[in-house]
Amino acid sequence: MPNPTSTKNCRLPFHYAWLIVICGSLTLFCCFGLARFAFGMLLPGMRQTLELSYAQMGYLGTGNFFGYLLSIAATPWLVGRLRPRLTIVMGLLLIVLSLAFLAVSQSYLQALFCYAWTGFGSGLANIASMVLIAYWFERSRRGRAAGLMVLGNGIGIILSGLLVPWLSGYYAEDGWRIGWGLVAVITAVILCLVGAILRNRPEAVGAAPYGPKEQFSPGPVPVSHHPGRIVIQLGLLYMAFGLTYMVYASFVVTSMVEEYGFSQSTAGQFWSWVGFFGIFSGVLFGILSDHSSRKAGLMAVFAVQTIAYLLAGSGLGVYALWGSVFCYGICAFAIPAIMAAAVSDYLGVAKAATGFSLITFFFAGGQTIGPALAGILAEHSGHFSSSFLLCGLVTFLAALFCLTLPRLSHD
């Protein structure tokens, strides 16, 4: 059997598993960093051109997450038959096509239809990418591998924060159309690259999973804790994350422009800082969860998120907003990284794909509810402060709920 860290059969100076991480990061750069997180930056322009109400702005985000929700039912079936590589390619292709049509949409309903398909493609690509971590990495390296994979989200936010204001200034009311078209082109290029490099399992390149093996069973959950209960617990936590984090991502730029009086350029700079801090989020908390426990990592993330949302809804001014941006960014993508590792740890590698799909169903449900609820609250109150405060309450309760997770034998 080849050494877990051997690369002699791969003819590379490093383990092929790190190419899988790079491909996963590029995939998440497209389906989240750009296709999802550019939405908040492009939304003000879309609102003006398509004459959207606050509620319709929320429903656009909900439409995307509804498509994501539907993809979760299809992903386990597709991964089982097409394998992760082709599933990722299919998801990225759907993103390319749907965003190309979104860029030329002329009405709210057309935009809603296209962005829902974007969500469907994002779900396929994301779930299949995260599942690969269970096959390519041993338990002791999964947290940091997932953390590195979500780097693409932060880089996408930085790019959207810098590029969208320039497009809006140069192309005026058509800036959002050029923006979505550019995202489609970038995704098409990455689709070709990822499709050529990805492999489903280490055996395909003559390697073994990366990292030292640890002395515990593949499914180390205590017998007294049924796997179904674990899925529900992780799912509810993932739902809390999904419900809250996208409310912030969708509406904080709009709040900066309309409630704080920021220019599009200034709001874009704030949003870029979210991406910059987000680059470190997955790695930071992923390593924390590797060395302490998944439970401790999740609690820490939810605690920091609570501070971010309370500061955003406090109305205390620019300094509070800066604090909110830092807290949100530094843990923005930590939950998905820890969840990808936690599912494999609690359920075992064989059930990782099914388990991650099931908890992602909860996650997508939260995302579907969150933006719509926030839009409705803003429609009645005239601002998003109440929505951010509600998010803070949800994440505070989630931090407490983490205490119900069972300990693993290696914690």
**Which whole-number Å values give the CA distances from 141 to 85, 151, 169, 293, 358, in the listed order?**
21, 16, 44, 13, 23
- Among 1-5, 47-51, 123-127, 157-161, whose mean pLDDT is lowest? 1-5
Nearest 5 degrees, angle CA 339-CA 363-CA 287?
Answer: 20
pLDDT, tens digit, 9 for 90 and up, residues 292-302: 788 888 999 99
- What token pair was written down for 84? 């992760």
DSSP classification of residue 366: H
pLDDT, tens digit, 9 for 90 and up, residues 361-377: 888 788 778 888 888 88
Place of tokens 């059969």: 9
pLDDT band at 114 (very low <50, low <70, confident <90, very high): very high
pLDDT band at 117 (very low <50, low <70, confident <90, very high): very high
Structure confidence at residue 410 (pLDDT): 53
**Which whole-number Å values give the CA distances from 335 to 43, 93, 244, 342, 389, in the listed order?**
25, 26, 12, 10, 20
Helix (H, G, I), strand (E, B) or coil at 369: helix
Q: By CB neighbour count within 10 A (0-12 exposed, 13-18 middle, 19+ buried), where does 282 fall?
A: buried
Q: By CB neighbour count within 10 A (0-12 exposed, 13-18 middle, 19+ buried), where does 309 fall?
A: buried
58 or 119, which is more confident? 119
Structure confidence at residue 79 (pLDDT): 81
Q: Indicate whether 204 pLDDT > 80.
A: no
DSSP classification of residue 399: H
Q: What is the mean pLDDT of residues 151-165?
A: 77
181 or 78, which is more confident? 181
**Which whole-number Å values give the CA distances from 316 to 94, 249, 260, 270, 385, in the listed order?**
42, 20, 11, 16, 11
Mean pLDDT, the chain, as a whole number? 82
Q: What is the mean pLDDT of residues 248-260?
A: 79
Structure confidence at residue 99 (pLDDT): 95
DSSP classification of residue 210: B
pLDDT, tens digit, 9 for 90 and up, residues 314-340: 878 788 888 998 999 898 878 887 887
Closest CA to 44 of 156, 159, 167: 167
Q: Is-contact 154 333, C-beta < 8 A? A: yes
With 0.85 as the threshold, say if the pTM is over it.
no
Q: Indicate whether 126 pLDDT > 50.
A: yes
Q: Indicate whether 22 pLDDT > 70.
A: yes
Q: Is-contact 339 356, C-beta < 8 A? A: yes
CA distance 373 to 310: 17
DSSP classification of residue 293: -
Q: What is the mean pLDDT of residues 193-210?
A: 84
pLDDT band at 172 (very low <50, low <70, confident <90, very high): low
